[in-house]
Amino acid sequence: MQTGERAPGFDLVAAGSGRRVGLRDLMGRKVVLVFHLQGTAPTAREINHAVRSRFPDPDEVLVASVIDLSIVPPVYWMTVGLVLGSAYDQATREIPPDVDPADYLIILPDWGGRVSREYGARNTGRAAAIAVVDEDSNVTLSYQGERPVEAVFGALENL
């Protein structure tokens, strides 16, 4: 995925909240997508906390984790869904009481891996991949590297 390209559309159901999240519904907002696996989940948490401290309103900047679960056989999907739901419930305990957790913490299981592939997210078990999408659904950052928080802030501040 190249900077300036139209962001690929997606429509996924968030773990825990059951909220349907689609790029089309996010028009008018900046969106930070963090593609990761279990081993790189701390990067997703770090980005979410950092963005929320500078941009507390999820209507301005939405942060969502996208987890490529294409390697999980369908027979285990229910179990994985329960684990993700439990992770969501545990993480919502850290959210301020005046904030709707469904807007603040978004975990998007990418069961077939289509969204991850379309955004070019690869090897996310080694390093999380980041995509920042502007209000018009254009990719302003596609990044995978050592300093993800700085890269995200650089992209958001240039919008």
- Topology (CATH) of 11-157: Glutaredoxin (3.40.30)
- Give me the torsion for CA of 127, 122, 32, 54, rounded to 10°: 10
- Span 43-55, average pLDDT: 93
- Please give the pLDDT value at position 65: 96
Point out the least confidently predicted range of 8-17, 99-108, 128-137.
99-108
CA-wise closest residue to 12 among 64, 48, 62, 59: 64
Tokens 């139209």 sit at which residue? 6
Alpha helices in 24-143 (DSSP H): 41-54, 77-92, 101-104, 114-118
What mean pLDDT do residues 134-142 have? 95
Query: pTM for the whole thing?
Result: 0.93
> Can you tell me the mean pLDDT for 97-125?
91
Task: Place 3 in a pLDDT band, splitting at 50, 70 and 90.
Answer: confident
Q: Where are the domains of the chain?
A: 11-157
Dist. CA 78–CA 82, nearest whole Å: 6
Which of 32, 47, 37 lies closest to 150, judged by CA? 47
